[in-house]
């Protein structure tokens, strides 16, 4: 038997960051600041992360998201923002099943 699943619109990561800060959580935000070639999320996309490793939003997906969450933990701990760059060359992309390569830059900073 199939059940109907209601889909909810995702919450705005900036609103979530505000709620988490008001709740006393330590929070970092990651923002896509530049893309080139194939990039799953556009410039301006956000991922908000708390000190416990909870996160909402998206800056890319897959292993990039995990790396950004890990870096955000360090940003929360030491307060120093970071510019992260991730990319894959066209020739490497083809080998892993992607049609073309791309690069993204993500700025991670502590809030509050």
At residue 88, the 3 state secondary structure works out as strand
At residue 14, the 3 state secondary structure works out as helix
Cα–Cα distance between 74 and 51 in angstroms, integer? 9
pLDDT tens-digit readout, 80-102 = 999 999 887 655 555 555 545 67
Question: What's the whole-model pTM score?
Answer: 0.81
pLDDT tens-digit readout, 45-58 = 999 999 999 999 99
pLDDT tens-digit readout, 58-81 = 998 777 889 999 999 999 999 999
What pLDDT does 103 receive?
85
Cα–Cα distance between 69 and 90 in angstroms, integer? 26
What pLDDT does 3 receive?
39
Q: Among all chains, which residue has been given the structure tokens 């390569």?
A: 101
Specify whether the CB–CB gap between 22 and 50 falls below 8 A. Answer: no
Residues in the chain: 112
């Amino acid at each position: 038997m199939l059940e109907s699943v209601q889909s909810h619109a995702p919450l705005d990561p900036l609103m979530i960051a505000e709620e988490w800060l008001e709740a006393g959580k330590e929070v970092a935000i990651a923002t896509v600041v530049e893309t080139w070639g194939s990039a799953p999320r556009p410039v301006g996309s956000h991922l908000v992360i708390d000190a416990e490793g909870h996160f909402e939003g998206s800056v890319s997906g897959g292993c990039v998201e995990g790396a950004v969450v890990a870096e955000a933990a360090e940003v929360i701990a030491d307060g120093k923002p970071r510019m992260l760059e991730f990319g894959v060359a066209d020739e490497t992309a083809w080998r892993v099943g992607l049609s073309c390569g791309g690069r993204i830059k993500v700025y991670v900073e502590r809030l509050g």
